[in-house]
Chains A and B, each alone.
Chain A
């Protein structure tokens, strides 16, 4: 451990302040609740001293000093508020307003604009400026980025966020003096990662979002902080919603709530790609096949039909005649419920999902050990990181952000093992080139010369992609055990790929990676099938051969992803829960229109094993969450739903009320339920009651509920889970998404498509989950 930094004592507005040597005055002031205003200062970005709003009086200094560039020194006496200082700040605002267009009534930022706030705070009410303002027309820099130059106050936050934060360097400053302007890297347009950080970080309405501009006024929205539904990193995204004809419309995604694991960061998908929810092809009513074609039906009709058919098949041919394919984008509660439904209601282990990582091998490698997995937040501060495979910039943008900024801010050492020229190589201290497909060999053979360097590290985080599987995962875990403080991250691609795996959406594994032969943890479920079931390809083969009579697909598109012949499913009763008529849904006997993760509540577990809350933001009233549909189907099958979900009297779950020290969470829970229109303990569709069960029965998931409810990430411990299993590596297929594709969701996001078209006139078709 390094020595704690020396504390320096200063006085600010008469208050004694102690902070580590080297702390900036503006930050030291924050620690005692004194906010020094600024436009250009932004934590973790380079210092500018440009806006002059943070001028303060430091004793013995002849001029006012900028608190954002002044390091504290022992005995410093500071005044942050006085007539002189207020006048200085007021004049800065007046000067800014001189050339500012004052078009607040039509400005997207109106109501959440830092310039408005400063004007209000410093009372620059009298307009002294009567000359002609410098006007420039608005420019569109990309499908999603607009620049309104007269509104720009030149704080350079966007330039720094893009360059220093994103390592994209797509924004610069042209000209000088009052002609200075922010410019994009290609003259009249931007070529970049389209992350939109520049828009979020803009204190005024100079940079606005193509997806949001002129849609609404900020105060007309309710802001819901939830977890992104795209990649496996689990960023918090703040969705701005407002009432619409069909429920609640999502009008904006951004990152105003910087409390998430992503801090300041959000990528293009988290920011703009919520618009799949209102794609014109969105299913809004159940469809039932009649006379060879699907026609709209009522929910009752649909559930009755599904219940009847599933019951019939189960009773006649046994559970093994039904298959269930789960999702990588449904919540933990839904995944858990789905596999419980398969095993308990259908009596089958034929359950699987699109696997993007060898998590069972990971569980196996870490079984019985402790503290060997890292959280997403750990990546931002680890002294060293080893990245094997994957291209996080494209596939795990938050992970890439964490790594990049850890290198930039903390001088972390990054080691890379890769076959291609991934962008993160710019941050690496050492790169080992491997041949494509040779990762397992490289890892299993001890990682050559790199290993020596790595062994001298402490607190190394080893991140590996789907390139590393099976025994190579074991080898990595062994290696981690000899590096002091080393931890691992296994990269899985979709928003809840990790949750699907943890919750036992596998034919051979129960929740928590226990083999189906060992149901001791879930004794209360009753008798379960003990033989492993079929994986997805086997199910599809069985359907083709006629032995699989029923297939229940929840939020997945195996037909599209695996290129299955439509005729293969013609004799199978196919039920699909989805938002769109995917290749799979097109073949279904019953299609149930599903809500997506932005329209329901529950939890996601990100690729690091960090569990986070998913909050309902939008709503399309004619769809249902998968959770409810599963319960309704069980009910339609005549199953006693109390054995599936805890609710009402006689519930087996304790709803978090008898957890001793944590019993206070009960209140939190009921407040939360009420806020979301659910009756505490009385509702069979309450996912949080199922979370209780998960926390009780899945080892490693017993995290603090109050932290979870508060929107904080909680790290689950795969080390405490079951022994895992050996997988057929051919079942693992990475999503291979890039920044602008996101499987089915991406296909139906007009914003993502417009960006792709803008970059590449012929968009590549992406068919996957």
Chain B
């Protein structure tokens, strides 16, 4: 069980039931649970979609696409069944927020799935939880069973005459499966290789039926929007960036933890106030603002509102809300290497640039960090990353390239300091050799 934290600036929406015992369905009901879905049952499909659209809710998985707009792409009529798929394959390094939602408020996700289903005319939904989160799968399975037992799921929900099924589904260890089309492949019992798009899942998704895929936090936000109204939710954040966000503060911070803050909350404040600043009197060297796939920011760039558009403006991304703070004792070559090792390990291998690019970059960075770097390597790392960017089959290639490009650009000197057999200036002697070479 992960520890909970708090800060006065927090605005508790998605996390409002955290620590309140809401895994119990009765407790959830006492905390306004399943009211939103009952309200939605009385609404027209378009009304639900518009409410969510106007709330400014944007995908919390990282892409930041307007959720209501995404729902509106589902065709009104379809020969094949429509589905809702909750993406709970949380795996972006630096991100650990969905875990808390599943742990403390599983019914909110179920309710979000149901409302999404009502909005697009789907009668079943799947909640996909990564394999490592076994205890959360158990919580979720129990929550689903409880909802069935109460008659909230299954036939004739809330006496509406409508049916809705929700099922749990589990993964088995694959970051790539967090990509929405790979997630569908995985759910269909296949290797998690993304699909060719178009067609997009909203038109051709699970088993060929139109499918809405949303992140767990996104779906957990939906009942609050239905109950509190689009305007209320939108006003919590900045223009076009409605609501709040679970920010996962981690890395070199005094008070790491998952905090729910309004969209647009200042990053600097987040680090130094909410996160309690950097320990041991160290200085900030870099921040990963939204999970390991985002370009890194340096000290001079952190006075910025944390919303999708503001981060985009300064050449980074809000991503999945995983904020990794890096202090000045850290070797950025090693940091880049660790990120690349991750993407190399998680590349599905389908397309050439990602499969070969991540492997090549990992090898180069290992050698480089071990002191075997040559000058040409620095440009080569840049060149390879830039040639992966935008050319891969799915965004994983970009995820590997973007942080790497930013690190080489912003910390070139650190790379140069590693050249000509010089030992890593940051590593304790004798520790470099152990560096990752695992398959």
Scan residues 413-439 of chain B and give those whose CB is less than 8 A from a CB of chain A.
Answer: 439
What distance in Å separates the Cβ of A205 from its nearest Cβ neighbour in chain B? 17
Using Cβ atoms and an 8 Å threshold, which residues of chain A touch B384? 91, 95, 128
8 Å CB contact of B174 from A53, A129, A176: A176
Please, how many angstroms separate the alpha-carbon atoms of A84 and B203 in the complex? 32
Please, how many angstroms separate the alpha-carbon atoms of A29 and B348 in the complex? 30
Does A14 reach chain B (CB closer than 8 Å)?
no
Given A47-B196, A63-B391, A95-B357: A176 and B349 within 8 A (CB)? yes
Using Cβ atoms and an 8 Å threshold, which residues of chain A touch B367? 131
A129 touches B349 (CB 8 A): no
Stretch in A177-185, A448-456, A535-543, A667-675 touching the partner: A177-185
Does A706 reach chain B (CB closer than 8 Å)?
no
A177 touches B345 (CB 8 A): yes
B191 touches A176 (CB 8 A): yes
Does B344 reach chain A (CB closer than 8 Å)?
yes
Does A400 reach chain B (CB closer than 8 Å)?
no
Scan residues 15-69 of chain B and give those whose CB is less than 8 A from a CB of chain A.
Answer: none
Using Cβ atoms and an 8 Å threshold, which residues of chain B touch A153? 352
Scan residues 173-189 of chain B and give those whose CB is less than 8 A from a CB of chain A.
Answer: 174, 176
Does B387 reach chain A (CB closer than 8 Å)?
yes
Given A92-B352, A95-B356: A52 and B391 within 8 A (CB)? yes
Scan residues 112-136 of chain A and give those whose CB is less than 8 A from a CB of chain B.
Answer: 128-132, 134
Does B351 reach chain A (CB closer than 8 Å)?
yes
8 Å CB contact of B356 from A98, A132, A179: A98
Using Cβ atoms and an 8 Å threshold, which residues of chain B touch A178? 344, 347, 349, 355-356, 358-359
Cβ-closest chain B residue relative to A174: B191
Using Cβ atoms and an 8 Å threshold, which residues of chain A touch B348? 176-177, 180
Given A131-B360, A131-B363: A177 and B391 within 8 A (CB)? no
What distance in Å separates the Cβ of A44 from its nearest Cβ neighbour in chain B? 16
A180 touches B349 (CB 8 A): yes
Interface of A is mostly: loop
Most buried by A among B174, B356, B374: B356
Does A50 reach chain B (CB closer than 8 Å)?
yes
Does B364 reach chain A (CB closer than 8 Å)?
yes
Does A277 reach chain B (CB closer than 8 Å)?
no
Using Cβ atoms and an 8 Å threshold, which residues of chain A touch B351? 49-52
Cβ-closest chain A residue relative to B390: A63
Most buried by A among B174, B196, B352, B390: B352
Using Cβ atoms and an 8 Å threshold, which residues of chain A touch B392? 52
Does B383 reach chain A (CB closer than 8 Å)?
yes
Cβ-closest chain B residue relative to A156: B350
Cβ-closest chain A residue relative to B351: A50
Please, how many angstroms separate the alpha-carbon atoms of A50 and B194 in the complex? 10
B344 touches A50 (CB 8 A): no
Cβ-closest chain B residue relative to A49: B196
B383 touches A128 (CB 8 A): yes
Please, how many angstroms separate the alpha-carbon atoms of A86 and B45 in the complex? 48
A50 touches B352 (CB 8 A): yes
Does A708 reach chain B (CB closer than 8 Å)?
no
Using Cβ atoms and an 8 Å threshold, which residues of chain B touch A47? 196
Using Cβ atoms and an 8 Å threshold, which residues of chain B touch A50? 350-352, 393
Interface flags for A89-124 (1: CB within 8 Å of B; 0: not) read 001101110110000000000000000000000000
Please, how many angstroms separate the alpha-carbon atoms of A94 and B356 in the complex? 9
B380 touches A128 (CB 8 A): yes
Does A7 reach chain B (CB closer than 8 Å)?
no
Using Cβ atoms and an 8 Å threshold, which residues of chain A touch B309? none
Given A49-B351, A178-B355, A180-B349: A98 and B390 within 8 A (CB)? no
Please, how many angstroms separate the alpha-carbon atoms of A707 and B359 in the complex? 52
Given A177-B348, A178-B358: A95 and B353 within 8 A (CB)? yes
- 23 residue pairs of the A-B complex, CB under 8 angstroms, read A49-B196, A51-B351, A51-B352, A52-B392, A53-B352, A87-B387, A95-B353, A95-B357, A95-B384, A95-B387, A98-B356, A99-B356, A153-B352, A154-B349, A175-B349, A176-B174, A176-B192, A176-B347, A177-B348, A177-B349, A178-B344, A178-B359, A180-B349
A-B CB proximity, top 3 nearest: A180-B349, A91-B387, A178-B359
Binding site for B on A (CB under 8 A): 47-53, 55, 63-64, 69, 87-88, 91-92, 94-96, 98-99, 128-132, 134, 153-154, 173, 175-180
Binding site for A on B (CB under 8 A): 174, 176, 191-192, 196, 344-353, 355-360, 363-364, 367, 374, 376, 380, 383-384, 387, 390-393, 439
